[in-house]
Amino acid sequence: MSYVHVPVMVNEVLEALNLKADSIVADATAGTGGHLGEIAKLIGISGKIFAFDRDPTSIEFCQTRFTELEFPQIKFVCTNFTNIPESIPENMLLDGLIADLGISSFQLENKERGFSFKYNTPLDMRMNQKGDTTAYELINKSTELELANIIYKYGEEHLSRRIARSIKGNKYIINSGLELAKIIASAYRGKNFKINPATRTFQALRIAVNDELGELEKLLNRLDSIIKPGGRVAIITFHSLEDRIVKHFFKNNHETWRFISKKPIIPKKDEIFKNPRSRSAKLRSVEKIM
Ligand SMILES: C[S@@+](CC[C@H](N)C(=O)[O-])C[C@H]1O[C@@H](n2cnc3c(N)ncnc32)[C@H](O)[C@@H]1O
């Protein structure tokens, strides 16, 4: 079963990007094309959109959803967003770029991708399954201390040492997300928790497997070379580690980038009600100074 991802803060993103009919735009994280479709409708066929995703199945999904006949203005590229400068025509500058970070429901709910703690399927978690290390391999090759550090650093999980000890001390091979989630829950024994106890550890493993924070920093550092003066960038983050990187990058580079709003934009109550996944989203947008 394929889940189409419900895009977050679509109107806020469109407003932040301030696009015109002939704008040239990049969607750095096309996913299943929620933001992409709205951008395509807004700029029409006289504009141009480059849609990127490092996940081949997401790009294939979008190519089927947005046929070349109906949406000739969209060009799809399956690559990491750090390669955007090499993937657009030389000397072309963009009016806008959106990056909606993390994974989509399409990926999370696909059992075979191994992102979820709900399913009894192999722990993969690679956004591009042609990539190198799976979460299963990462767990097995890391020492207990290395694993604890990953869980602490990328999951901000205070029980990281206890969880790493339970994982590495487990007698049986941990094959699936569900098995790993049970071991994490046992390490939580006696503690109260509001969210599933596996949430932070799974986030940490996913970030490490895909080097998500490293890739985000590389993208931010390359933006100046692809955005026009006056062009805009909108970035949606889903946890404080990413948001901190985005906020500090634009603050530290204030001679090039101007925040469009001082505070990040967060979803309205009715959006959170309709799409609970949006509750942790923050949108930061900037304009390149002329
Ligand atoms: C939250 S989803 C985007 C959803 C999309 N905005 C929509 O409306 O359907 C994030 C997407 O970004 C992709 N992604 C994450 N990091 C990436 C990177 N470094 N380069 C390219 N794509 C990336 C993921 O594979 C995933 O499909």
SS (H, E, C) 199-224: HHHHHHHHHHHCCHHHHHHHHHHHHH
Ligand 1 geometric centre to CA of 61 (Å):
13
**What does the pLDDT read at residue 1?**
45
pLDDT, mean over the chain:
95
Domain end point (choices 193, 209, 225): 209
Ligand 1 geometric centre to CA of 243 (Å):
16
Q: Write down how long the chain is.
A: 290
Ligand 1 geometric centre to CA of 99 (Å):
7
Residue with CA closest to ligand 1 atom 7: 34
Residue with CA closest to ligand 1 atom 8: 34
| Among candidate residues 126, 106, 123, 114, the one with its CA nearest the CA of residue 207 | 126
Q: Do 21 and 141 fall into the same domain? A: no
| Among candidate residues 211, 207, 218, the one with its CA nearest the CA of residue 85 | 218
**What does the pLDDT read at residue 191?**
67
| CATH number of 136's domain | 1.10.150.170
Collect all residues with Cβ–Cβ distance below 8 Å to 242 and sequence separation of at least 6: 101, 102, 212, 213, 216
Q: Do 68 and 134 fall into the same domain? A: no
159: how many CB neighbours lie within 10 A of its CB?
21
Q: Do 205 and 223 fall into the same domain? A: no
Q: Return d(Cα 106, Cα 178) in angstroms, integer.
A: 19
| CATH number of 263's domain | 3.40.50.150
Tokens of 39: 């951008």
Domain end point (choices 192, 209, 226): 209
pTM: predicted TM-score of the whole model, two decimal places: 0.96
Ligand 1 geometric centre to CA of 28 (Å):
7
Strand partners for 25: 49, 96
CB-defined site of ligand 1, < 6 Å: 5, 7, 29, 31-35, 52-55, 58, 80-81, 100, 102-104, 127, 215
**What does the pLDDT read at residue 3?**
66
114: how many CB neighbours lie within 10 A of its CB?
27
Domain assignment of residue 112, yes or no: no
Domain end point (choices 191, 209, 227): 209
- Segments of the chain scoring below 50 in pLDDT: 1
Its domain, for residue 69, covers 10-106+212-288
Q: Do 219 and 196 fall into the same domain? A: no
Domain assignment of residue 120, yes or no: no
Q: For residue 43, give the amino acid letter.
A: I
Tokens of 202: 């799974």
**What does the pLDDT read at residue 2?**
58
- 3-61 residue pLDDT tens: 678 999 999 999 999 999 999 999 999 999 999 999 999 999 999 999 999 999 999 99
Q: Which helix or strand (DSSP H or E) is residue 287 part of?
A: strand 282-288
Q: Do 98 and 216 fall into the same domain? A: yes
Structural domains counted in the chain: 2
Q: Do 86 and 150 fall into the same domain? A: no
Collect all residues with Cβ–Cβ distance below 8 Å to 193 and sequence separation of at least 6: none
Give the atom of ligand 1 at the shortest distance from the alpha carbon of 79. Answer: 21
Give the atom of ligand 1 at the shortest distance from the alpha carbon of 5. Answer: 9
Question: Angle at Cα 51 formed by Cα 47 and Cα 56, nearest 5°?
Answer: 155
Domain assignment of residue 246, yes or no: yes
**What does the pLDDT read at residue 290?**
82
Strand partners for 286: 233, 259
33: how many CB neighbours lie within 10 A of its CB?
29
Domain assignment of residue 15, yes or no: yes
**What does the pLDDT read at residue 133?**
95
Pocket test for ligand 1, best of 53, 108, 212 (most atoms within 8 A of CB): 53
Cβ 66 vs Cβ 43: under 8 Å? no
Ligand 1 geometric centre to CA of 100 (Å):
6
Domain assignment of residue 153, yes or no: yes
| Among candidate residues 29, 126, 111, the one with its CA nearest the CA of residue 78 | 29
Q: Do 201 and 218 fall into the same domain? A: no
Q: Do 14 and 102 fall into the same domain? A: yes
**What does the pLDDT read at residue 192?**
67
**What does the pLDDT read at residue 233?**
98
